[in-house]
Structure 1
Amino acid sequence: MPSRPHPAFDVYAQNCPTRMVLNRIGDKWALLILDCLRDGSARFSVIRRKIGGISQKVLSQVLKNLERDGLVLRTVHATVPVAVEYSLTSLGETLTQAVASLTHWAEQHMEEVQEAQLRYDGKRIDG
């Protein structure tokens, strides 16, 4: 078992604030947004087009939460119309390898997961 890097926080403790952070970065939309920003800054509309199925409301809320947690930076450019870009902060960049590993693991192993689901469902129907 790996050593704990910060003794004041314990992810296994019920009231530890790390649980909130894990909940946030464990959200599928947050993972996809962070992965989307891995290659550089992007405008809201670009992120929304890239991430199929995300609503404007959900994207806006998740970006605000990620900004609040210090993972995403929102930059407003004084142009007409106003342009807003989102990028990873240095803290957010520390997550990019883990996030990419999770999101792309799903792509690489989806067939195996689907096969396992079919086997499991077959056993439940038969047994």
Structure 2
Amino acid sequence: MIADLHRRWVFGWERAEGDPPFDFRRTFGEFYDFGSPHVRLYDDFDPEQRVATTAAGYGEIWAPAFGAMISAEHVVDDGPHVVAGRDLAASTLRFAARITTPGGVTDIRTTTSLVWHRTPAGWRIVREHNSSKVLAAGEAF
């Protein structure tokens, strides 16, 4: 269950030329806990390296960048690896991505760790930590 959710979460970040405007809540509403006071979400690919304390706030971090993207392609190359209990679970996976913007193409490799908690609506993310490395052109795929 958690492994499938984490895989689907990665591919929620996909963008293709001509996609409708990026809408974080519409895309990720089934993944993040939009009501929990325990949310802490971080991705070092954010140039400002902010820590969001709400899912909506995290979406605001990414809206400008994903709104300007031409495309984003992803491939999972390790995991997900899951440890799960009754009400909490943690999953880790690694993916490569090719991000195309009007300014060019950037390839990255990211290790992502998510903490999920069980809610009446299902498993939701309350913690996220992503560490990315920019790769040489063409190295991601």
TM-score in terms of structure 2 length? 0.26
Greater Rg by CA? 1
Which structure has more strand as a fraction of its residues? 2
